[in-house]
Structure 1
Amino acid sequence: MKLTQDALDAFMAEVKTAQADATATETVAALLEAAEAARVTIGKADATQLDSLKTVQATLEGLAPQLKAAGKLLEARHKTWLKLLETAEKGLRARLSKAFEVKALREAKRSLQAADVRKNEEATTRDLVLEGMRQSAHFIAQGRWLLSRFPDGVFAAVPGLCKVVTVEEIAANDYSLTPGRYVGVAAVSEDDEEDFVEKMREIHDELTELNERAVEFAGNISRNFQELFA
């Protein structure tokens, strides 16, 4: 590819646009502020009082959509900068410039990409940040699940989940300890349907990312072969 002034100008315009986009920064700042407020609420909570725990859960529920939004924005920003780095290296032949800091840019790319678990690579900055958000969202969802099944804070029979049975009931079932014989089948609730839809969205997003990376790897391999046999 021949380096032209138009190509360089277009690249610099993309860089300036990426630098000016403060959406992710502002979103993360708002999330950190909300998280600090939640931390204060949790610190004042009485773990022995159900109402206090419900207040904490309500506070955490406000963080859930912020965690999701921040995670998506960060991933999108990572992809933008990785694309710009690739354009600089492959399209603009930046490595030929004396100003090209190979080590610094290698470390930058490394921090924005997921670690390769097959190579036992240590978690990158990207991994640590996004995994922290995912874990936080996971525990918020678990708290929601518990309070929805046991709203009074005590054990209760929940169809499809749990039930206290007598020895006589077990005997009547030929002493079978198969849980399904006693707990029955739970009706599908709107919350369950929403959780399922959300899980499918997460799986779809992950598959999309993997497909994008596969296409990127295939392109890199093809270019390497072209350069090798050029």
Structure 2
Amino acid sequence: MDTSVNIIEIVMTILSWGVIGFFFYYLYQKQEAKPKIWKAFVATFVGLFTFSFNIPLFETILDVPILPLGVWILLWYASSREGAWEKYRRFAWLGFSANFIFIATTLLTVFIHHAVYPKSNLSTYIANIEEVAISQLHPSAEDVTLDQESLELHVSSFEKAPVTSMDWYNVMIDTEPHERVEQFPYQLSGTSSKWGSGIPTMIYVEKDGKGLLIDSSERQRYFRSDVTILKGGNDE
């Protein structure tokens, strides 16, 4: 199954265009002087163009429209054609208003996604471990194997913890190059996030096997447990 597909985003996008289509149909039926339907579509599409600015909110970027550039373009175009603006202005403003529909559904998508796929649960990022494997990324990595049974039994015991990347980096650079020990010298492969979450991830395992660093497209998250998921090495 393709876990890179964000099913909630797809559903909400369809919903957005469905709402826009409903208002388009309503305005077209209500209007007495009806333009050609394809011209009404074009007017709505052009109305989408705006001058906007980006606002980072809830780990996503929102395009907030400020100036209705598309509406102005259509106004300029219709000004030399008698009765044209009266025919197309509602569709132009519908296009401009559609931007706010997209903002609303984007926010709704974020809230629903967080509820269905909680970012504080490791199981969101590790949903399938049947073919999971571990590989060494750094010379300091010990000769260990993955304790798949431990991972399966204790995946729910991993708790989210602060990402202290600067502390990890400082510890590494304070040692001699030949003595440096990578904080996360292993990588998990063969696993995937929950179906429909659309969360691509890289999962790194801490040197003691008790910490997992989840590197997704949006940010890094660190999970820690009292139980190791590694077998072998100097501690065995």
Name the TM tier (shorter chain): under 0.3
| TM-score of the aligned structures, taking structure 2 as reference length | 0.24
Query: Which structure has the highest helix share of the two?
Result: 1
Structure number with greater CO (CA < 8 Å, separation at least 6) is 2
* TM-score of the pair, normalised by structure 1: 0.25
Q: Which has the higher strand share?
A: 2
